[in-house]
Structure 1
């Protein structure tokens, strides 16, 4: 069962304790070395309580990933928004705020003890959003100066690289500052993609 707002507060609390225990243990010794007993003990619960909510540790991990990525996706806009030079893009603010709120999770999942598949799942989500925004701005791909697939791959992995750097350095800048910096880069990328000049910018 997914961790959502409809759950009883006591159930939500139990799920949160188990999630936090899993993330802490992954940071300490990696996912493969963790047992259900480890998770229950760290969460100060018993194994029977764990199995009332999840089938196994894989079920807990996958539902944790699903819930966090669903939260990320739901907070991002689905349409293209014209950026102003001095304002951070709303999507980027949300992404960095979301990562900050879930920093323990992202530090583990994007670090050496994380799961490689998570990085690709996250990159796929960001890439699909970029595809949607480009298509909304310019439906005719022949008019683009850079192939859309190449452009979205480049920007997606640039974003992820910056997010990993930010986490590894204990988030030295605020989410808004990070969003502002990437917005400036995003504007330059957009000019390249659409062949715009500064005077043509909104």
Structure 2
């Protein structure tokens, strides 16, 4: 019987058994992250859920956070892709449908995002999410018609704006999924869009509207 050819993963040839074990570990990590605070999870907990021993986990990941980050990589990619479709440079007016879809995506995975973004969440996940969102926003900003877009100063300013917006999104998502009676995805997207375009009706108490 011919020997099975290892598959290719991220530019490397990976044995199918390794892929299956990692898939088990990622699935176990996501299940547990949706059930309890991430900070309370241990390698032993994940190993037990995946029905493998702890030594097997350490053969694939150096620590719990590395495993969680790998488990969330696909989800981060989906969110970044959704963000990339949002026309953030569109003039103020009707809330873009793509922005609403972005919030609906987070809403559909609210429990997982609440665990990962909350006080007991994984710092590496938050940093990775913010970084990928910033990349997608910056790509849009560079796409704006700006004759000085190639200038170093213009690039630095675009990057600054991108990280500002990415940080705002992460902050909004964190607060939104943690609110017991949170606004709907449509309401949240509408408010965020208004804030981004400087058209929000919200005012500070005691300040004139």
Aligned to 1:159, which of 159, 169, 173? 169
Alignment TM-score, normalising by the size of structure 2: 0.64
TM-score, normalisation: structure 1: 0.66
Structure 1 residues 83-123: Cα deviation after superposition (integer angstroms, max 9, x where no partner):
46442224422321221122222112211221212222111
- Structure 2, unmatched stretches of 5+, are 1-8, 11-19, 200-209
Counterpart Cα distance in 2 of 1:28 and 1:77: 28
Could you tell me how far apart the structure 1 residues matched to 2:77 and 2:140 are? Answer: 19
Query: SS in structure 2 opposite 1:170?
Result: coil
2:3 alignment counterpart: none
RMSD: 3.8
Structure with bigger RCO (C-alpha 8 Å, 6+ apart) = 1
State whether residues 19 and 60 of structure 1, in contact with CA within 8 Å, keep that contact through their aligned partners in structure 2: yes
Structure with bigger gyration radius:
2
2:5 corresponds in structure 1 to none
Deviation (angstroms), 1:166: 0.7
Aligned to 2:51: 46
In the alignment, which residue of structure 2 is the partner of 1:200?
A: none
Equivalent pair of 2:38/2:122 in contact (CA under 8 Å):
no
Number of residue pairs aligned between Structure 1 and Structure 2: 175
Q: 1:29 to 1:187 in 2, by over 3 A?
A: closer
Residue 172 of structure 1: how far off its partner (Å): 0.9
Instruction: Give distance in 2, aligned partners of 1:66 and 1:17.
Output: 12
**Does the 8 Å CA contact 1:21/1:39 hold for their aligned counterparts?**
no
Is there any run of 5+ residues in structure 1 with no aligned partner, and where?
Answer: 3-10, 190-202
2:187 is matched with which residue: 177, 181, 186? 177
Sort the Cα spacing of 1:125 and 1:170 in 2 relative to 1 into closer, same or farther, 3 A: farther
Give the whole-Å Cα distance in 2 for the aligned partners of 1:79 and 1:29: 32
Corresponding position of 1:98: 105
Structure with greater proportional helix content:
1
The one of 194, 197, 202 equivalent to 1:187 is 197
Counterpart of 2:40? 30
Cα deviation for residue 75 of structure 1 reads 2.9
